[in-house]
Structure 1
Amino acid sequence: MAPERNENEGENADNGVLATTDGTETTGIGIVEGATAQVEVTLPTAFNEEDDFDDDVVRGEDVTLVQLEQLPAERDEVRGEAPATTAVPVASVSAASAEPAPKASVSAAASAAAAKTAPAPKTAAAAQASSSVASASATAPAASAASRAELDHHERVRPRTSEITLQSRRLGDFEVDRESSDLLTADRLLDPAHVVRTEPEGAWRHLVYTLSGRRINLGDSKRARARKQLEDRIAAPLSGGARFVPVLSRKGGVGKTTVTTLLGMALADAREDRIIAVDANPDRGTLAERVGRTSGKTVRDLVRARGDVHGFNDISQIVARDHTRLDVLASDADPHVSEAFSDADYRDVAEVAAHFYSVVLTDTGTGIVHSVMEATLEHADELVIVAGLSIDEARLASETLTWLESNGYAERVRSAVVVLNTSRPGAALVRADELDAHFRSRVRSVVRLPYDPHIASGSAISFRDLQPETRDAARELAAIVVEGLRASSVAA
């Protein structure tokens, strides 16, 4: 006979508790005392297996129906989610006996099978559950169609990963046999036989070139090639800020101003950056007179106007420039005024010059303990010492090196350059080779500057009018200075 409901049916209707379990077949369920068993059974349903539900939930008093939609495989891959599984309608029925016994949770299929064996009519709760299931079956196609339409809309709007991934590749990454434009170099394309070469330097080489109708080019002479190599050494790039190179000597009249002028002209003639020579002689220097061009302004004018110098045009109105593009900043002509040029003034001049020039040469005075000399040595990146070809001039130059070593500039002395200046014609009274050996034991390099009547006249120096040996010596000095500045920048 059909199991009877618990008297308190209204309170326990939602829990599905039976008053007795006599009419329930539990032989195949295998309930173990003191445990809960889950049994999977096939529940006859009127649902179409091809219908898709989009999370539709139908709740009844005794039956809970959950249908999950199984999404297509390609949509699960686009969303990056795991493929959904198909769920079956589940109804939970709790059974309890009158006697104290453990409760068992069975599926709705077991409840349906028990209902078939028992001829008991459906209760109100069971009828309500049946109507809920029928209602869910009726509304399933409409819900599935709406869910599909909404999902298709999201798939059309959602950008795919392959569509928004942008990559930048060179042409060679796609086609190995195709070349890029950077491989079209002059060395590869130009035929050496048809390349137009520059006119050769050298008397008879240029003569052959001219008589052959410019068809026979023997190239430059050995002397011309050496000069061009020397100019390449001078034009080597300098990294970093401005470099300061003072020209020193404790002996007056040995040629500090001449060496400063020749060094500046050789640098300016071969380099593309700006070179300036500053006359910092407190006793009225003659540097501006050696270039033959004056602006009428001095270092004193630059000190006064340093706050108004905002560009190179402002400073170009104060300095003088010669044909090699060397800029010269003259000292004060009045010796009483020039004495006022102090170390603070030099620092102001050096600060302004460092903004517009790559190399700053300083023509110093004979007073090595003067305050200007102190500021000059503080800024020095490399030293040039000038010595004459006489005993007293050579001794004073050597003593200058000793003073520098004793006052904290020993490293600068080891990297310094000594110039042996020949200021008198004829054979020197001292042996130049012995002076060369002496100074090479103390400094990095020694350069000999030959006698030149163009310089000895005391007039303005024209670099192109110098004797070839003098120009070569000036270029050699400039190359050695540049190499020292490059070495110091690497060490720093």
Structure 2
Amino acid sequence: MVTNRDHDDLAVSLPESLTINVDLPATVHDVPDDEVAVSIDEVAVDPGFVDAAVPTTTSVTLVTPQAEPLPEPEPAIELHGDDHGYSRRDRLRGEVSSSPEPAAMLTADRLLDERKTRRTPPEGRWPQFVYAISFHLVNLGDSRSVRERKAVEARIAKQFEGGTRFVPVLTRKGGVGKTTITTLLGMALASTREDRIIAIDANPDRGTLAERVTKQTRATVRDVVTRAASISGFTDFTTLVSRDETRLDILASDTDPMLSEAFDENDYNVVADLTARFYSIVLTDCGTGIVHSVMRATLQRADSVVIVSGGSVDEARLASETLTWLEANGYGDLVRNAVVALNTATQGTNLVKIEEIEAHFQSRVREVVRIPYDPQLAAGSVVSYKDLRPLTKNAARELAALVVEGLPARRTN
């Protein structure tokens, strides 16, 4: 038992300071690198030390950016006719302006009555019937056949820039319908396009192109050559051509057999130069004499060619030989861009495989179009385009569309 006296004796015997050494174990935990990166250095801070150069208190003023006030919207200005503006607001319909109105005031919004303006009436029996019984309130649109026809017409209506396009229609075989094809092609172009189309009968062997339309003049290519210097405008030129109901102009060939050979390369160039002044597309009904000088002048101006073939064996072979002749004489580009019109109204068509003839030409030219039999064409007289069978007109339009697609849209010379 320790008494108070013993406690006092123990306190007196202990030294005033006591140092005890304790060996601690090795570090058992390393600080991860991510903690080291954000750790604060262990620097002792003396609370009694104050650096006079460093302010003891730092004040930070936060400035909140103020959004710039939006500009006040300008008051709307009412433009009236009296102010020479383009609005009639706050004016009564039909009210007369106190000052003269500019032409710009005659806008469609002002003049057109919405109650009287409706969609274009549809074409086709059923759409027209529905349109009529609904008092023009229900418009189903055009029928499928009409839409297809308008699509082809849109292709025909392709716009050109920079000069006239020349398209010869030729073959080495006579009697295959070359003049008929020229007539159909010209009518399909003229009935759809807004520009001028002319077909020239350059057959030195007395062509019959002018007999496919109602004659309005006795003038021929010879008259054009002799009067070339006096032709100053389109009105003068129209007195020398016959115009069809489709607006196709026809320039006849010489009718005198004694003068037929006189129409040569130079004469054709005179006629071609004149027509280039007034027409966008010039079709040339060429003769069977492929080595004639007129043919050379025609091909030199050609942008594309139409080769006419019949449906018999010899007609198809001669048409193919025409392509061979063109390739051999430096007109390979024309051959590759050519369109073959396969006239199935000729004799022997029913005895041959038309699809084989088409396959042959498709391997050599750009396109092939089959022209069906039509009694109006078989008569060999005046052609009434509106009275042709629908199938014939569709073929003519397709031929025209293909020809136009092969013509350059722009030309620099």
Q: What's the TM-score once normalised by structure 2's chain length?
A: 0.71
Post-superposition CA distance 1:69-112 (Å, at most 9, x none): xxxxxxxxxxxxxxxxxxxxxxxxxxxxxxxxxxxxxxxxxxxx
Q: Does 1:279 align with 2:201?
A: yes
Question: Within 1, Cα distance between the matches of 2:332 and 2:348?
Answer: 35
Shift of 1:428: 2.0
Question: Within 2, Cα distance between the matches of 1:454 and 1:258?
Answer: 11
Q: Does 1:397 align with 2:319?
A: yes
Partner of 1:470: 392
Partner of 1:436: 358
- From 212, 222, 225, the equivalent of 1:290 is 212
Where does the alignment leave 5 or more consecutive residues of structure 2 unmatched?
1-72, 78-84, 87-103
Partner of 1:306: 228
Question: Within 1, Cα distance between the matches of 2:353 and 2:108?
Answer: 53
- From 336, 341, 358, the equivalent of 2:280 is 358
Question: Within 2, Cα distance between the matches of 1:233 and 1:386?
Answer: 22
Partner of 2:291: 369
Question: Within 1, Cα distance between the matches of 2:348 and 2:266?
Answer: 44
* Matched residue SS, 1:481: helix
- In structure 2, what residue type is equivalent to 1:398? S
1:426–1:348 Cα change, 3 Å: closer
Question: Within 1, Cα distance between the matches of 2:324 and 2:114?
Answer: 56
Post-superposition CA distance 1:405-463 (Å, at most 9, x none): 00000011000100101124896211111111111111111111111111001110011
1:453–1:426 Cα change, 3 Å: farther
Q: Does 1:240 align with 2:148?
A: no
Q: Does 1:200 align with 2:113?
A: no
Post-superposition CA distance 1:151-205 (Å, at most 9, x none): xxxxxxxxxxxxxxxxxxxxxxx98x99x989xx989xx9999851122111122
Q: Which entry has the higher C-alpha Rg, 1 or 2?
A: 1
Partner of 1:338: 260
- In structure 2, what residue type is equivalent to 1:445? E
Would you identify which runs of 4 or more consecutive aligned residues in structure 1 move more than 6 Å?
Answer: 190-194
Q: Is the 8 A contact 1:425 1:451 kept in 2?
A: no
- In structure 2, what residue type is equivalent to 1:230? V
Shift of 1:211: 2.0
Partner of 1:20: none
Where does the alignment leave 5 or more consecutive residues of structure 1 unmatched?
1-173
Size of the aligned set, in residue pairs, is: 316
* Matched residue SS, 1:486: coil
* Matched residue SS, 1:263: helix
1:193–1:218 Cα change, 3 Å: farther
- Structure (1 or 2) with the greater helix fraction: 1
Shift of 1:486: 3.0
Using the aligned pairs only, state the percent identity.
Answer: 62
RMSD: 2.8
- From 148, 158, 161, the equivalent of 1:226 is 148
Question: Within 2, Cα distance between the matches of 1:424 and 1:441?
Answer: 23
Post-superposition CA distance 1:377-409 (Å, at most 9, x none): 111111100000000000000000000000000
* Matched residue SS, 1:339: helix
Moved more, 319-328 or 429-438: 429-438
Q: Does 1:415 align with 2:305?
A: no
- In structure 1, what residue type is equivalent to 2:261? E
1:343–1:423 Cα change, 3 Å: same
Question: Within 1, Cα distance between the matches of 2:130 and 2:188?
Answer: 31
Q: What's the TM-score once normalised by structure 1's chain length?
A: 0.60
- In structure 2, what residue type is equivalent to 1:484? G
Question: Within 2, Cα distance between the matches of 1:221 and 1:255?
Answer: 33
Question: Within 2, Cα distance between the matches of 1:193 and 1:382?
Answer: 49
